[in-house]
Amino acid sequence: MNAAYVIGNITVIDQEKWSEYCCKVPVTLSPWKGELVFRGKQLEVPGGKYQHSDTVVIRFPSIEALNNWFNSDAYQALIPIREQAANVDLISYQS
């Protein structure tokens, strides 16, 4: 199996709600062996155009695990908080 990644490109609109969401996501990852690889704020854009302020990268053992995490009741319950907290584009990749 190849690892799969979800990359979130994020523009925070409510820092308090974003902090709440970020605190709750890790527990949703563990049943699917998801691992937070990187979470950070943009410093600069050396080339091209990029509209978001933050990025997150999460690794899963497979695309099936990634999809199961995203569709899980635990993560789906957090989506309303996420939508109030930030504009987020989630993209999945496989290595």
pTM assigned to the model: 0.92
User: Tens place of pLDDT for every residue, the chain, 95 residues?
Assistant: 799 999 999 999 999 999 999 999 999 999 999 999 999 999 999 999 888 999 999 999 999 999 999 999 999 999 999 999 999 999 999 98
Nearest-CA neighbor of 93 among 56, 62, 51, 68? 62
Tokens of 45: 């854009």
